[in-house]
């Protein structure tokens, strides 16, 4: 789905996907674009990179290799089952396994996971980060979508879902790896 780029510090930056999560006015929305690229060719326009897990109580969005992202989503759901739906505890355990397990360490993906109270970025570098302002973007258009969402929160009366929709449109107009076929899930 996306191609990771490794820099000198062995961190990964993904291009080919935009995922945005926003908590605003008591609602959380997670949006993802639908474009899948292979090198410089668009091969799919309507991929679903955002989905509900754990009885619909958790929304995840992912950037990275599709099989890896699906594998990590399944592993997160297993952790949620083990830890009675505690997103923070499950995310920490997943990140620990992801960083230390020989097989998982090679997975190339990054994810956002949200529930009704918590929003987390989870990475293979061992990161479990909760954003200060309730807005986070990942992938190639993530910075554009996040910046647009911050401005819309400050200067508009839109709800979380519509802010996510508008911010994703802005990201799609800037990032060539992001399209305007958007999936949005709301809690």
pLDDT at residue 51 is higher than 80: yes
Query: Could you count the other beta carbons within 10 Å of the beta carbon of residue 166?
Result: 18
In percent, how much of the chain has pLDDT > 90?
71
pLDDT at residue 10 is higher than 50: no
Q: What would the CATH number be for the domain defined by 3-177? A: 3.60.20.10
Cite the active site residues. Answer: 17
Distance CA 106, CA 78 (A): 20
pLDDT at residue 45 is higher than 60: yes
Inter-CA distances, 121 with 36, 131, 156, 166, Å: 21, 8, 26, 22
Strand runs labelled E in the chain: 3-6, 12-15, 18-24, 27-33, 36-38, 41-44, 50-53, 58-64, 109-114, 119-123, 128-129, 135-139, 182-186
Q: Which tokens sit at 85?
A: 């739906």
Domain positions in the chain are: 3-177
Inter-CA distances, 77 with 46, 85, 86, 113, Å: 24, 9, 11, 11
Give 75-111 as a DSSP string.
Answer: HHHHHHHHTTT-HHHHHHHHHHHHHH-TTGGG--EEE
pLDDT band (50, 70, 90) for residue 14? low
Q: How confident is the model over 93-132, as pLDDT tens digits?
A: 999 988 888 777 777 889 999 999 999 999 878 899 999 9
Rounded average pLDDT over 84-93: 97
Q: Which tokens sit at 55?
A: 């009885």
């Amino acid at each position: 789905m996306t191609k990771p780029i490794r820099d000198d510090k062995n961190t990964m930056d993904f291009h080919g996907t935009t995922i945005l999560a926003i908590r605003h006015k008591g609602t959380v929305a997670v949006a993802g674009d639908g474009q899948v690229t292979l090198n410089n060719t668009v091969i799919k326009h309507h991929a679903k990179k955002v989905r509900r897990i754990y009885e619909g109580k958790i929304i995840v969005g992912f950037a990275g290799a599709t099989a890896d992202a699906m594998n990590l989503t399944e592993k997160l759901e297993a952790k949620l089952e083990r830890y009675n739906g505690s997103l923070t505890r499950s995310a920490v355990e997943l990140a620990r396994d992801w960083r230390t397990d020989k097989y998982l360490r090679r997975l190339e993906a990054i994810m956002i996971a949200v529930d009704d109270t918590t929003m987390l970025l989870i990475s293979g570098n061992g990161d479990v980060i909760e954003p200060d302002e309730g807005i986070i973007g990942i992938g190639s258009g993530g910075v554009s979508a996040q910046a647009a969402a911050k401005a819309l929160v400050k200067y508009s009366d839109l709800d979380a879902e519509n802010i996510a929709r508008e911010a994703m449109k802005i990201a799609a107009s800037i990032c060539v790896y992001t399209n305007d076929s958007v999936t949005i899930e709301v809690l």
